[in-house]
Structure 1
Amino acid sequence: MRTPQQLFNLDGKTALVTGGSRGLGLQIAEALGQQGARIVLSARKQTELDEAVAHLKSLGIDASAVAADLSQEAAVDALVTETLSRLGHIDILVNNAGATWGAPAEDHPVEAWDKVMNLNIRSIFLISQAVGKRSMIPRQYGRIINVASIAGLSGNPPGMQTIAYNTSKGAVVNFTRTLAGEWGQYGITVNALAPGFFPSKMTKGLLATLGKDELASHAPLNRLGDDEDLKGAAVLFASDASKHITGQILAVDGGVSAV
């Protein structure tokens, strides 16, 4: 019988984290690496990846990076191939790469809709499919963690104009549930984190407009997410501590979605 400490241990595990050069992706990569996993990060910009890898290595984490634009189908296959060449196999896949676009629904550009959908949900399907077929299904083991959002659990409050983003994250929620149902037979768990408001490059515009205090006031805990708040949940879903948990969506939002 393993102890809780042993169940949460990731020594010997490997992880691919998309959108891992900054923000929530880097926070998750840091958590998995500190628990012992070897990490490959992916994002579009090599300079940001270099900085992220240097940060992880300063913490004693075995990390490297592969630049890839996951909105392009060919880039997905190339990323998986390179990651497998470095790690040998992929135990943990964190689908975090994403984009948003703000515009009223009646004026939302179609090309912007397609950009958000291609990265936020199409790429998750493609990379999960590739990692599943080439590593997880043959080995009968895997942990897939999709980063959704509480924006995918409900509609927008007045003033929020992110219909493509919300729709894509709602798709991530049901993608998670559906894939969990299909791939459970292979020993693969599929779960999603649904963050609330975390200060990041993606949310800086809203933070500047509404202010930290106003945004925090909507949460029962009266605070925003910080640099630690996804770590525990990510390690749970990545480790054997969650071997009997699949198809679940965990809101990490200070209680916003509960009221």
Structure 2
Amino acid sequence: MDLQLKGKTAVVTGGSRGIGRSIAELFADEGANVAICARNAEQVAEAVESLKRRGGEAWGRAVDIADGAALKRFVGEAGERLGGIDVMVSNASALVNGAAEADWQAMFDIDMLGAVRTFDAAFPFLEKAAEANGDAAFVIVSSVSAAETNGGSAYGPMKAALIHYAKGLARQHAAKKVRANVVSPGTVLFDGGVWGNVRDQMPGYFERMLKRNPTGRMATPEEIAAAVVFLASPRSAFTTGSNLLVDGAISARVNF
């Protein structure tokens, strides 16, 4: 299927490794130009060179997502350098699963305000792209933890807030053809990621978590990326305000 992304521009936060890296690579494979940011400058530089080898234009910068001014500058510069923004993906996360006040603050600053600030900075470009081409997209990576909980952690409530935020944006900007959707992964396994570290450091707990999932395994970053890129593409032009679970049926709820 041609996702109609050739020549488009996608911006991905947290794009140097894991899910974000896979999202950026799949956009590049579909012929899009890509801009990424992450905290580690060396990882960003390596990812950008890898993206360029896939054939498109790529650019990146080291950015602390909690630094609102720096984040907005990155998005604006990405749009200027690459000639616009057709897709904005808010993927970066503090990944804090605790209940201390500092945990709540980190999740609010990086996950919630990170999404708000990326959208605000990208919106003029998205609006222009939608006016010219009939479609532009904002996609947030949330989590199945938005609706699954065993305690008063900061992680799930902030991920749930992102889904609410995206739905509001979808309704607000539908007439302008600027879409907003969410992809909510379940457990995702890759080296150096949360579940990769659990596998290496707590193998017994890791095996118990594998058994929770009816598929008997965890997702790959590439499987999450496929959902994000499809929702971001013009092929999904009538899909907005959705929350797409990609969790291998680990959640029991019915997603009405």
TM (norm. structure 2) is 0.89
Cα distance in 2 for residues equivalent to 1:88 and 1:242 = 23
Question: Which residue of structure 2 lines up, in the alignment, with residue 152 of structure 1?
Answer: 146
Question: Which residue of structure 2 lines up, in the alignment, with residue 12 of structure 1?
Answer: 7
Contact 2:19 2:222 in 1 (8 A): no
**Structure 2: runs of 5 or more not aligned:** none
Q: What secondary structure does 1:30 align onto?
A: helix
Evaluate the alpha carbon distance shift between residue 67 and residue 249 of structure 1 in structure 2; reply closer, same or farther with a 3 A threshold. same
2:92 to 94, 97, 100: 97
Question: Which residue of structure 1 lines up, in the alignment, with residue 137 of structure 2?
Answer: 143
1:94-133 aligned within 5 A: 94-103=89-98, 105=99, 108=100, 110-132=101-123
Deviation at 1:58, TM superposition (A): 3.1
Evaluate the alpha carbon distance shift between residue 227 and residue 170 of structure 1 in structure 2; reply closer, same or farther with a 3 A threshold. closer
**Structure 1: runs of 5 or more not aligned:** none
Cα distance in 1 for residues equivalent to 2:80 and 2:126 = 15
1:71-90 aligned within 5 A: 71-90=66-85
Q: Which amino acid aligns with 1:128?
A: F
Evaluate the alpha carbon distance shift between residue 241 and residue 228 of structure 1 in structure 2; reply closer, same or farther with a 3 A threshold. same
Contact 2:180 2:240 in 1 (8 A): yes
Cα distance in 2 for residues equivalent to 1:147 and 1:162 = 21
Question: Which residue of structure 2 lines up, in the alignment, with residue 215 of structure 1?
Answer: 209
Contact 1:14 1:91 in 2 (8 A): yes
- In the alignment, is residue 244 of structure 1 matched against residue 238 of structure 2? yes
Aligned residues: 245
1:233 to 218, 221, 227: 227
Cα distance in 1 for residues equivalent to 2:87 and 2:96 = 29
Deviations 1:104-125 (A, max 9, x none): x4xx2x2232112110111101
Cα distance in 1 for residues equivalent to 2:212 and 2:194 = 19
TM (norm. structure 1) is 0.88
Contact 2:107 2:158 in 1 (8 A): yes
Q: What secondary structure does 1:191 align onto?
A: strand
Q: Which amino acid aligns with 2:92?
A: A
Q: Which amino acid aligns with 2:163?
A: V
